[in-house]
Amino acid sequence: MSAPAAVIFDLDGVLLDSEAAWSDARRELVEETGGSWRADAPRAMLGMSSVEWSRYMREHLGVPLGDEEISRAVVERLERLYRDRLPLLPGAREAVVSLASRWPLGLASSANRPIIELVLELAKLVRCFKATVSSEEVARGKPAPDVYLEAARRLSCEPRRCTAVEDSANGIRAAAAAGMKVIAIPNADFPPARDVLGRADIALSSIDALEPRILEGLERS
């Protein structure tokens, strides 16, 4: 098998320990506006685009604002949290820099565009990524393959020659549906079910285990 054309990373849960930050920002808005937070809300919103989770917060959590207002308010809260402390996972920056020296990198994230740009700026990783895509820029969020297909298009790569790095069930489903090889780094807070994890080509315990030799092994499989 020929070498992969590119590696495409997810952001939240792969490079950032950020699920708690997203949940806190959303819960604060729900409570401040008189809505009703639900314990299953964080899992329900995993992988959703900003359009989708803003609608969910309005329709299911009772936030009395328009979808764009909801999205903007959550993003503003998250930006403050990240400027105070960016929850970059140990080994994430090193893994990105190492792989960027060998393959073109893309980013396919459910995060809003301003959050993607802020994270890459704060982490000093802007130059490592040839293309970045937010799911708010495509028709459907994960588990639909749209964000991964768009990332491959922007990288001028065939999806089947790309390898995705994912942590969540919806992310694994999205990358697999795009026809990509998938490296799973299971989310500790929201671990994928066994049958979903089985759709990945390989599973790693943490991002710092992601080394070029892992990609080289996939090439030969």
Helix (H, G, I), strand (E, B) or coil at 133: strand
Can you give the pLDDT at residue 1? 44
The overall average pLDDT reported for the chain is: 94
Q: Choose the catalytic residue: 10, 17, 67, 146.
A: 10
CB atoms within 10 A of CB 101: 10
Confidence of residue 219 (pLDDT cuts 50, 70, 90): low
pTM of the full structure: 0.91
Q: Which two tokens stand for residue 163?
A: 């390898």
Q: Where are the domains of the chain?
A: 6-17+87-220, 19-84
Can you give the pLDDT at residue 46? 85
Q: Which two tokens stand for residue 214?
A: 């892992």
Q: Choose the catalytic residue: 12, 17, 67, 167.
A: 12
Confidence of residue 135 (pLDDT cuts 50, 70, 90): very high
CATH architecture under which domain 19-84 falls: Orthogonal Bundle (1.10)
Task: Reply yes or no on whether 10 is catalytic.
Answer: yes
Task: Reply yes or no on whether 146 is catalytic.
Answer: no
Can you give the pLDDT at residue 6? 96
CATH domain 6-17+87-220 topology: Rossmann fold (3.40.50)
The residues facing 203 across adjacent strands are: 184
Confidence of residue 221 (pLDDT cuts 50, 70, 90): low
